[in-house]
Amino acid sequence: MIPMTDKEIIKKASQWLSPVFNAQTREEVTRMIVNDQEELFECFYRELEFGTGGMRGKMGVGTNRINIYTIGIATQGLSNYLMKQYADSPSKIAIAFDSRNNSSLYATKAAEILSANGHMVYIFEELRPTPILSFAVRELGCQAGIVITASHNPKEYNGYKVYWADGGQLVPPHDKGIIEEVRNISGPESVNMSANHSMIKTIGNDIDIKYLGLIKSRLINPNLTNERADLKIVFTSLHGTGITLVPPMLKIAGYKKVHIVREQSVPDGDFPTVKSPNPEEKAALAIGLEQANEQNADILLGTDPDADRVGMAIRNSQGELELLNGNQAAALLIYYLLSRKKEDGIDMSRSFIAKTIVTSEILTDLADHFNVNIYHTLTGFKFISELIKNKEGEEKFIGGGEESYGYLVDDFVRDKDAVISSVMLCEMACWAKSKGKSVWELLEEIYSITGLYKEDLVSLVKEGSAGFKEIQDIMNQWRHNSPKEIAGEKVTRLIDYKMGIQKFKPAGNISAIDFPKSNVLQFITSEGSKITVRPSGTEPKIKFYISVKSNYLKAESLSIQYNKLDEKINRIKEDLGV
């Protein structure tokens, strides 16, 4: 990307002073031109990229911001692509939105533009979790879907996520095709804004009822009535959409002691009680942890704003609430699913689980233990969804997960789903209780099979044009000056996913899979440590995923063993300079 001069930026911004743009937009552009050219640069130095799954960015005025005009251009591009793909009949598109500021506005604008172009639009009448949009796309026979959300990003952000007819997020070739159409839109003046309201229909609670009914039908242990009634759950939606469906589903499943964190139960795009509505961050769940301690809860559950991810805290061996990372929760969920199928004598030879390349290898070890196939995909749940579609009729998807608190059970939704995951994690806890065990003891049982794993994630925020370049420079440095040793451990394997298709079958029942090019580097050491470096696809961050492993010692406290692995992680961080 060639840097733009101040003069070029002002010329580009001045185009937003035309009558195509509303008065509020023109006033803001004028203010920046006169008084704040630094902000003007950040708002206009590039076009907000419509990436392989959609776009995400800060809200505001300009080509590098989320606003009704960038939303409009993206929607017109999507419309044009759909008209080429389905030339014989109008397409149907489902739209959902989360609790963020302007999400409803952006969803309405997208619906109006699609209707103006002759498409039938189904839009949820109220905010709803992302996974039910994935379900609605297939249930309503749509050719595409849109969710207005920025997931767990801070309040300044919003986004536009596109789904295809299979209910999964965009993957090749449709992602590239839509990107090309979006790039061909010259500007807002090329967007058809003449809404045809007869082509817009609202989605009521009939979809909710079908979706929740399917989740109920997937409960594995219907006989755990007493355990469900006794399990004490505290739930927080972090001001997001989880409040609409998670508590109702828990009630349907028979959980009677569900306590809501009221301070965070009202959907609010300002997220007033948290700095960042991300359940991966302990600070976001601080109020929930406090309430869970006061009420002596067994489990704390916390969903992100669009309720596709869920975090969990459980009681440790000292009876204290402890937040699990996404790999631990995924291990518990997958162990439960596989154990119950084994108990019921279900043949799993034509079934599989799935994980992303940055997720812990503990799932690989569990797959090997239960003799079930496991497939690895690139980072992003859309690749797991694509895998499910490609395996239809050949192998049955049991469940899958990624380290960032995203999990899926069964395949009637084609994206990570905090609603079914919340219910299944609670069922896992009830199953453990029925066997006279705590969830913590169940985790120890898993480690006795797989060995002990511990993970950490370092995210370096690099905002703006300078940050964009710095992230590129960091990746180039790691790519061209790869370490031969990390924290005293010899690097025995380097995988550069940007070098083209990778075909490999490392161990156990891992099934070989073709990986498309991706800007990801992965280092495997002689001691079983795994370090992955990649730029975020949705945030101005570069991420370092660290996973370490040791033998599990039954005679030694799990907390002490965790501390030893934390020391190893800290040595790796120090050596990496992060």
Q: Quick check: 441 and 432 in contact, CB under 8 A?
A: yes
Containing 164, the helix (H) or strand (E) segment is: strand 157-164
- Is it the case that residue 167 has pLDDT exceeding 50? yes
Q: Which long-range contacts (CB under 8 A, 24 or more apart) does 345-349 make?
A: 348/372, 348/398
Encoded tokens for 388: 């499910």
DSSP code of 283?
A: G
Cis ω before 173 (30° cut-off from 0): yes
Degrees to nearest 5, angle at CA 371 with 368 and 372? 95
Per-residue b or e along 80-115, where b marks 16 or more CB atoms closer than 10 Å to that residue's CB: bbbeeeeeeebbbbbbbbbbbbbbbebbbbbbbbbb
CB 392 within 8 A of CB 400: no
Report the Cα–Cα distance between both ends of the chain, in Å, rounded: 27
Summary mean pLDDT of the chain:
93
User: pLDDT for 55-65, tens place per residue?
Assistant: 999 999 999 99
Q: In this prediction, what percent of the chain has a pLDDT beyond 90?
A: 80
Instruction: Convert the pLDDT of each residue in 482-538 to its tens digit.
Output: 888 999 999 988 888 887 555 444 444 444 456 778 889 999 999 999 999 999 876
Give me Rg for the CA atoms of the chain. Answer: 24
Q: Which pTM does this prediction carry?
A: 0.93
Q: What span, in angstroms and rounded, lies between the C-alpha atoms of 463 and 539?
A: 9
pLDDT of residue 331: 98
CATH H-level superfamily of 227-450: Alpha-D-Glucose-1,6-Bisphosphate, subunit A, domain 3 (3.40.120.10)
Name, of 5-14, 40-49, 398-407, the range with top average pLDDT.
398-407
Strands (E), 186-227: 200-203
Instruction: State yes or no: pLDDT of 81 exceeds 50.
Output: yes
Alpha-carbon torsion (205, 210, 213, 218), positive or negative: negative
Q: Which CATH number fits domain 452-576: 2.60.120, 3.30.310, 2.60.40, 3.40.50?
A: 3.30.310
Q: Which helix (H) or strand (E) holds 456?
A: strand 452-461
What the block records as the tokens of 22 is: 């509303």
Question: CA separation (Å) from 144 to 55, 69, 151, 401, 426?
Answer: 16, 21, 19, 24, 32
Residue 523, Cα to own-chain centre: how many angstroms? Answer: 24
Catalytic one of 103, 151, 339, 518? 151
CATH number of the structural domain 46-207: 3.40.120.10
**CA distances (Å), origin 19, targets 14, 16, 22, 25, 188:** 11, 8, 7, 10, 11
* Residue of 248, 252, 85, 104 lying closest to 170 (CA atoms): 85
- 206 pLDDT band, cuts 50/70/90, is very high
Q: Determine the pLDDT at residue 516.
A: 75
The most distant pair of C-alpha atoms in the chain lies apart, rounded to whole Å, by: 74
pLDDT in tens, 532-547: 999 987 678 899 999 9
Spans of all domains in the chain: 46-207, 227-450, 452-576
Q: What percent of the chain stands above pLDDT 70?
A: 96
Same fold: 46-207 with 452-576: no
Name, in order, each residue with C-beta under 8 angstroms of 363's C-beta and a sequence gap of 6 or more: 327, 330, 331, 334, 353, 355, 374, 401
More confident position, 425 or 478: 425
Q: Counting every residue, how long is the chain?
A: 578
**Of 202-216, 393-407, 477-491, which gets the smallest average pLDDT?**
477-491
CB-CB contact of 315 with 343 (8 Å): no
Q: Which residues neighbour 3 within 8 Å (Cβ) at sequence distance 6 or greater?
A: 45, 465
Residue 347: which residues within 8 A CB-CB, separation 6 or more? none
Residue-wise pLDDT for 234-263, tens only, equals 999 999 999 999 999 999 999 999 999 999
d(CA 348, CA 370): 9
Q: Which residues contact 26 (CB under 8 A, 6 or more apart)?
A: 16, 17
CA separation for the pair 457, 543 (Å, rounded): 7
Contact by Cβ (8 Å): 361, 530: yes
Query: Sorting pLDDT into bands at 50, 70 and 90, what band is 417?
Result: very high
- The stretch 83-91 carries a mean pLDDT of 91
Active site residue 151: yes
User: How far apart are the C-alpha atoms of 410 and 345, rounded to whole Å?
Assistant: 18
**Residue 41: per-residue pLDDT:** 93
Tell me the average pLDDT across 388-405: 94
Which single residue is written with the structure tokens 């023109």? 26
Using CA atoms, how far apart are residues 538 and 541, in angstroms rounded to an integer?
8
The predicted-structure confidence for 432-455, as pLDDT tens digits, reads as follows 999 999 999 999 999 999 999 999
pLDDT at position 172: 84
- pLDDT for 572: 95
Cβ pair 403, 327 in contact under 8 A: yes
Distance in angstroms (rounded) separating the CA atoms of residues 313 and 299: 6
pLDDT at 565: 95
pLDDT in tens, 338-392: 999 999 999 999 999 999 999 999 999 999 999 999 999 988 899 999 999 999 9
